[in-house]
Amino acid sequence: MEPLSWMLGTWLSDPPGDGTFPTMKPFQYLEEVHISHVGQPMLNFSFNAFHPDTRKPMHRECGFIRLKPDTNKVAFISAQNTGLVEVEEGEVNGQELSIASHSIARISFAKKPHVEQITRKFRLNSDGKLEQTVSMATTTQPMTQHLHITYKKVTP
């Protein structure tokens, strides 16, 4: 899992993240991220977002990041509290991970418009902070940036 070791640790948003999409009002959020390794050939992750003023829980997702042995190919498997389950695949190159949706499933009563595609990019910037950018396409909107957030590491 060495190619992904730069992602390990507990990370807190610094500053708050920005969210936008053509069908919603712009918003900010705080997020705590835990990325760990327990000896299996994958990383475990959880993303927990909170409203920056009220601290009320917002978005949640958890899952696994798998590295195909002896390659830079990566799979990102995620379940979200919105009822979305996704598999994204891509590559890790240095301290950057770029992934795109391979398959998306949702609960039968998921809120519309439905997400049809997702891309994510994680990178460790020159200040040692982790950045995440998420773009998505829905049944009514083309691929558009949705989220951008920067995290500082608080525990290894």
For residue 142, the domain's CATH number is 2.40.128.20
Q: How far apart are CA 32 and CA 96, in angstroms?
A: 20
Q: pTM above the 0.75 mark?
A: yes
* End-to-end C-alpha distance for the chain, whole angstroms: 15
| Residue type at position 27 | F
Q: How does pLDDT run across 4-56, given as a tens digit for each residue? A: 999 999 999 999 999 999 999 999 999 999 999 998 889 999 999 999 999 99
User: Count of domains in the chain?
Assistant: 1
Q: Are 47 and 57 in contact (CB under 8 A)?
A: no
The position carrying tokens 């730069």 is 6
Q: Is the pLDDT of residue 127 over 90?
A: yes
Q: How does pLDDT run across 78-109, given as a tens digit for each residue? A: 999 999 999 999 999 999 999 999 999 999 99
The range of the structural domain enclosing residue 106 comes to: 1-153
